[in-house]
Amino acid sequence: MGLVSGVNGVSPQGKKELVQSSSLSRFTFDVNQTPLSEDKWVVCGRFGKPHGVRGEVRLWGYNNHTELLKEGMSLYLGKHPKHPKSPVHPASHRLTLTKVRSDSKGLLLGFEGINQREQAQDLNHMAWLSTRNEFPALAEDEFYLLDLIGAQGLAVDPKYDQDTLSPEVLKSARPVGRLTSLLEAGAGEILIFESQEFGEVMVPNQEPFVLSIDLEQKQVILRAIRGLLEGGI
């Protein structure tokens, strides 16, 4: 029995509700009874369909080279946000990870107590959640994109590059809004800015769009490439 809709006499065409199946009920986790209730939760991936008949499940991780997944650890699951800007709710389930392997498509995981395909099906569409303080420490010149949330986007004339960018150029930069969320795409991340003037501005996190990122100043310097901003700069 998986996640179902149309309960309590409501048809699938009407208002839909998700009911957690009994196969996952024993993994229910009350975060409010732990110190994790004060932590910031981060979506690190989304579970897909079962793989094989022994309970393995596909994980579409946002970083397939993550160092967070280790056999024997507790893995936290919860509701996956419907939109990148939707709030991330705390974990609702805790499972013990027993197997981590990869194939040509990505990651495959196994869990204690999930031994059949039907059980693994109940994980489909759930989010893999982690707390921010579980992330590995980084080198001095590295940072997590997550820490950029709230940064100010500034667009400069596309004729400038990293060598010609100067404080004088930044004074004439056009505000693009605040970075509100990140969207994982096949070729990399998409930075999403919100602006009263431009609305939602989506920028690939790569050259030639992003000139520089200053985590300390919470600034993302963008090239105002044609089509990026309505009306140009």
List the chain domain ranges. Answer: 22-134, 145-223
Task: Yes or no: say if 45 and 116 are a contact pair by the CB < 8 Å rule.
Answer: no
Tens of pLDDT, residue by residue, the chain (233 residues): 333 322 333 333 333 334 444 578 888 878 877 777 767 888 888 999 999 999 999 998 877 778 889 999 999 999 988 776 677 888 999 999 999 998 888 899 999 999 999 999 999 999 999 988 888 888 877 888 788 889 999 999 888 888 888 888 888 898 999 998 887 776 678 899 998 888 888 888 888 889 999 888 899 999 887 766 654 44
Residue 13: alpha-carbon gap to chain centroid: 30
Whole-angstrom distance, CA of residue 179 vs CA of residue 151: 5
- By C-alpha distance, which of 150, 164, 173, 159 is closest to 221? 173
| CB-count burial class (<10 Å; 0-12, 13-18, 19+) for 135 | middle
Tokens of 121: 């099906």
Taking CA atoms, 13 is separated from 16, 19, 101, 125, in Å, by: 8, 16, 39, 20
d(CA 199, CA 196): 6
pLDDT in tens, 104-114: 888 999 999 99
Fold of 22-134: Elongation Factor Tu (Ef-tu); domain 3 (2.40.30)
CA distance 127 to 107: 14
In degrees, to the nearest 5, what angle opens at C-alpha 11 toward C-alphas 6 and 16? 50
Provide the 3-class DSSP secondary structure of residue 67. coil
* CATH code matching the domain that covers 145-223, chosen among 3.40.47.10, 3.20.20.220, 3.30.360.10, 2.30.30.240: 2.30.30.240
